[in-house]
Structure 1
Amino acid sequence: MATKTRVPQTVDAYLASVEDPAAKKTLTALRTQLRKLLPKATESITYQMPTFKVDGAAVAGFAFFKNHCGYYPFSGSVVPVLEAELDGYATSKSGVTFPPDQPLPAKLVKTLVQARLAEIATRAKKPAAAKKPAAAKKALVTDRVTDAAVKEATGRDWKAWMRALDKAGAAGLAHKQLVALVAREVESGWWQQSIAVAYEQAQGQRVVGQTAATGFQVGVVRTLPMTASALWDWVTTQPERWLGPGATLKAEPGGHYAVPKRRGSPGVSGVVRVVKPGQRLRMTWQPDGWMKPATLQLTVMPKAKGASLHVHMEKLPDAEVREAMRARWSKVLAQVE
């Protein structure tokens, strides 16, 4: 008869049961940080994972699986609204997964906790609304969060934020730049993202069902031991290193690139759409046989030690292609490193 695995009943017991040394070290450090961020929280085991609760509401949880760790905010909204912050991580609607030897940055954990706390506070203040037919529901931030809640948390209601951002010239900013603009006045990462997305929706940049419109997406990021300027030169002058042998690239708006067909790999071609020198390269991505192109974007960001290269793809046709692209770019960046 098979022996039934006993589920740990305390967080201490859970951590003691983790046999992987790197995972134990990472999760123990994560627990310590959560204790500092949530000094009044109670610790328990919920859904078989260590969980921090504030006034009975689950705020953060973590777990170790066979070969990865996971962080869970016990919300279906926190991870999607922090999409830009989590670029490069494997995510689902309910959580973030990461390698045992690559802990989540402390700043990112703080942002996730703040986002969940802000969400709980917002829901507590929002009056119950009459149920609407499913077809009539909208996925707009301003429909989900009341004027009173945003004003109490940030000092402005929605109309005031729209006017302030218009006056600041936000209409021409990329999403991360818009978030950075809001961050000058708002500390909470969740509110920064919510205000930025609300403004984009008001401007028509983001519409209901955007995820469906952009198809399947994937992002991979790696910090490399070179300066941001050197990394940018590498991207724009050595396309064969990241696109494939024989690749040619004209790194200017309207420029074309091509990757020859090889055994086991189709040829790929596309057109450069956006070039922000030293920062971003955005182009179409269309392998032989594809009816419609996907979009490929490379972003270079300076870091304290080196520079990071973010690879993001959207409008991919299905989940299988998404995972293939995740594997492809992970392999490319690992080889570069």
Structure 2
Amino acid sequence: MATKTRELNPIDAYLAKVADPAAKKTLGALRMQLRTLLPGATETISYQMPAFKVDGNTVAGFAFFKSHCGYYPFSGGVVPQLKAELDGYTTSKSGITFLPDEPLPAKLVKKLVQVRLAEIATRAKKPAVAKKPVAAKKPVAAKKTLVTERVTDAAVKEATGRDWKAWMRALDAAGAAELNHKQLVAHLAREVESRWWQQSISVAYEQAQGKRVVGETAGTGFQVGVVRTLPMSASELWERITTQPERWLGTGATLKLKPKTPYEVPKRRGAPGVRGEVRVVKPGDRLRLTWHPDGWKKPATLQFTLVPKARGVSLTVHMENLPDAEAREAMRERWAKVVPKLAQD
């Protein structure tokens, strides 16, 4: 009689694939603490990460990325409540980032779990609102199958820095429609560290195909995007962009960081003059302005977006409302050369 192979616990399987020794040790210890704090909880995989569920509610989860670990309470309300306790950590509304060799203190993990359990209990105690009787049953709405319907704009923007519309535009501009699924995920991995978000954005973009024209949309014309991770901090890069505009605007350029302020770059041999207006300034995060070279009938829009990473900063340069495909390719080539130079001393 053949012996049945024992099925591996999903979290055991996840940890077995973690190659970083420090991360494996830290996450293993975190798992054991969660087992103690949540006796009887179900160990599972949710959003491609180990998670603990109690009575159907996900209470805690953790994951390892390329260079850091993350703790996730599966709620947007827990981290904000513990703002004081989390001072010094890199956080978002949905999670906490920490280094593999610097595990979260046991007291902090206990507090995170307690706050999440209290949140679930409070929600369960809310009285149900009586429904008015209806003459006939309404048809049950079809289950949402599109990723963009199941995952809100707020959630994707909180986790990745862009909402769904912005992701669709950026991927169109990068020529992602020509990539297969594996290539698309690899492309996203340069900017998005979470494997779950890489997959979700890839599927959402693939679902959207057939509704767009590659490189051009009805509302924003021809677009282009260039993404690079530079070996410097976000503050250092922001300072270079804003105090040394000649590095990216061109020789002789001056720039005042104030919305509705015009700027101009003088014409020089081999390059047309450029004029425009500053539109949005979010220090350390985003700069948006118009871009109107000599010879173009209408201005394009140029945006710089900075996203801090574990080792450096990701810079996305995105342009839209370009006049034609030729201009799009010229801008793609231009920014591919200019962006790396921003990191040079």
**TM-score (ref. length: structure 2):** 0.42
Give 1 or 2 for the bigger CA radius of gyration.
2
TM-score by length of 1: 0.43
